[in-house]
Amino acid sequence: MKSVILLTIECLRADHMHFMGYHKRTTPNLDTFAKEGIVYTNTMSTSPWTPGSFFSIFTSLYPLMRGGTISPTDQTITLAECLRIEGYKTAAFAPGGWLSPLLGWGRGFEVYESSVREKSEKKRVKKSLPQKTIAQRFKIHELFSQFDRILNVSTKDLIFQYRNYRAPKQQTREQLKNQKALFWLNKNLNENKFLWIHYLQPHEPYYPTREYVSFSQIFKICKLNYKAMRNQAKREIGDVKLSNKELNELIALYDQQIITVDGLIGELITKIRSLEGETYFIITGDHGQGFMEHGILGHGLELYNEIIHTPLIILGPHITHKKIESVVSLRNIPLTVFSLLNIKPYRFSGISLLNKQQVEEQAKYGIISEASRNIRNQVSMKGGVVNYTNPQAKKWAITTNKWKFIFRKKGKMELYNRERDPKETIDVSKVQKNIARTFENKIKAHINFEDNASTPVRSKLRWKIMQLKRRKNTKLKL
Ligand SMILES: [Zn+2]
């Protein structure tokens, strides 16, 4: 009996982990696991936002391949689908939103629990379609926004936070995910299993759990979050104006959420270990989070280090502590899972992170990350195939152990020496012209490959996958 448990955390930037050198003790549990397992200190996401990054985590493909997508398409095979073909029991406990099963994320999972109710999920997806909902027709959201603008606070958040403080729920959403996951594991004790939990904290807005705030702080925290998030979808670099004090307060709130999620993971792993024998854990973030280092608050469109650098720990039987400092990509997760479980590698691209030689070769070539502006109104609820790219805003980055190169199709290039300038503050593309040119050629070859890439699904597997797709994800009854 073998199991892999993939624990992913929203917006988790690597340099806020205590075991990665952060001055605050944000991660007491992860610090312990880091001492035990393999720690990859230079892990890059393929994308600065959730759907792009998970598309690579589950398919090993790049999000901008053949025009771009934000969820597994009919042409792709996912890690969960392969493991199910191999007879594994599969379950996912994820938030809704961009990881909604309605967009195809449930593929390969027998159980796919999204913490948002399906009804509101459908409404959310519908909202991004051209047809207008009743709320949109009567401009109810705009009415609320007017209120928000006058008070300089999100009235919805304020009501929710006060209510939650006065009458807190017995369990937070994240605690419920843990409880359900443990229930599912208990139900399938003697089976091979693949379990994925995605924790939504510490995504903005940053609202710490009740024990970290007093009643009198709620209004201030809501106001600060409103200021930080205002016009988030439309803003450009430099649009956000926050004082140093405000920025530090926001970072402290973000760190408190990391402490909370670290506690949840510690508790979960301890409980699972008391249940199960041969269990592997992969713990990572889907991308990082900006705090104005390059004028960006949050994530979404840029590829600077604070936005794509995330921690990665692999734990399990026969794994001894190691620190891998070479750059690696989150798109290497599928082949790493196959390697942990001794399963024949399905036709996924990339490498297994357990193969030291391949890790070094890949680092020498460079790790590619991609970004694009999303076009939400192209969401198709039926197909889950979404083209979210705007060719004008596409950008690529390539990271090696020494260099980081950012390429925009229409615009300036940037080159940073990661050894001397890990925070990417001095662009040396004009000084190191030859190096910049070499990276430019690599990116152009990558774009060419992406535009002409063929379907990675093996025809022999197709019928099996189609059968899996016909089965609906089930809900778990506690
Ligand atoms: Zn995310």
Does 155 reside within a domain? no
Q: Identify residue 19 by its one-letter amino acid code.
A: F
Summarised one tens digit per residue, pLDDT across range 154-211 is 888 888 888 877 777 778 888 999 999 999 999 999 999 999 999 998 998 998 888 7
Per-residue pLDDT band at 34 (split at 50, 70, 90): very high
Name the one residue in this structure whose structure tokens are 């039987």: 317
Q: For residue 277, how far is its CA from the centre of ligand 1 (angstroms)?
A: 31
Half-sphere exposure (CA, 13 Å, Cβ side) for 285? 34
Does residue 301 contact residue 28 with C-beta atoms inside 8 Å? no
For residue 412, is it within any domain? yes
Q: pLDDT-based confidence at 91, cuts 50/70/90?
A: very high
**Nearest in space to 65 (alpha carbons), one of 284, 299, 301, 349:** 349
Asked whether 354 and 48 are in contact (CB, 8 A), the reply is: no
User: What pLDDT sits at residue 375?
Assistant: 41
399 and 44 in contact (C-beta within 8 Å)?
yes
Q: Establish if 337 belongs to a structural domain.
A: yes
Is 136 inside a domain boundary?
no
* CA 467 / ligand 1 centre spacing (Å): 30
CA–CA separation, 87 and 473 (whole Å)? 16
Q: Provide the pLDDT for residue 30.
A: 98
State how far the Cα of 260 lies from the Cα of 263, in Å rounded to an integer: 5
Tell me the CA–centroid distance for residue 300 and ligand 1, in Å: 8
212 pLDDT above the threshold of 70: yes
Q: Where are the beta strands (DSSP E) in 193-321?
A: 193-199, 278-285, 290-291, 297-298, 309-315
Cα of 461 vs centre of ligand 1, distance in Å, is 30
Closest to 195 in 3D by CA, of 84, 287, 117: 84
Residues 6+ apart with CB under 8 A from 57: 6, 8, 79, 286, 330, 331, 333, 334
- Residues near 420 by beta carbon (within 8 Å), at least 6 away in sequence: none
Residue type, 25: R
Closest listed residue to residue 352, CA positions, set 374, 372, 329: 329
Residue 144 lies inside a defined structural domain of this protein: no
Q: What's the CA-to-centroid distance between 275 and ligand 1, angstroms?
A: 30
Q: How confident is the model at residue 215 (pLDDT cuts 50, 70, 90)?
A: confident
Residue 159 Cα to ligand 1 middle (Å): 25
- Centre of ligand 1 to C-alpha 166, Å, is 30
- The residue among 367, 271, 280 whose CA lies nearest residue 42 is 367
Q: What are φ and ψ of residue 322, in 5° steps?
A: -150, 155
Amino acid at the residue 42: N
Q: Tell me how far the alpha carbon of residue 233 lies from the centroid of ligand 1, in angstroms.
A: 14
Q: Considering the domain boundaries, does residue 123 fall inside one? A: yes
Calculate mean pLDDT across residues 252-267: 96
Q: Which helix (H) or strand (E) holds 6?
A: strand 2-9
**Domain region containing 434:** 2-129+172-470
Ligand 1 center to 223 CA (angstroms): 23
Paired with 3 in beta bridges are 193, 279
Q: How close is the Cα of 8 to the center of ligand 1, in Å?
A: 9
The pTM of the full predicted model, rounded to 2 decimals, is: 0.90
The enclosing domain of 388 has a CATH number of 3.40.720.10
Cα(95) to ligand 1 centroid in Å equals: 11
Residue 390 · residue 408 · CB < 8 Å: no
- 199 C-alpha to ligand 1 centroid (Å): 10
Query: What is the Cα–Cα distance from 374 to 48, expressed in whole angstroms?
Result: 12
CA of 7 to the centre of ligand 1 (A): 13
State in Å: Cα 186 to ligand 1 middle: 29
CA 48 to centroid of ligand 1, rounded, Å = 7
- Residue 58 in any domain: the answer is yes
Domain count, the chain: 1
Residue 124 resides in a domain = yes
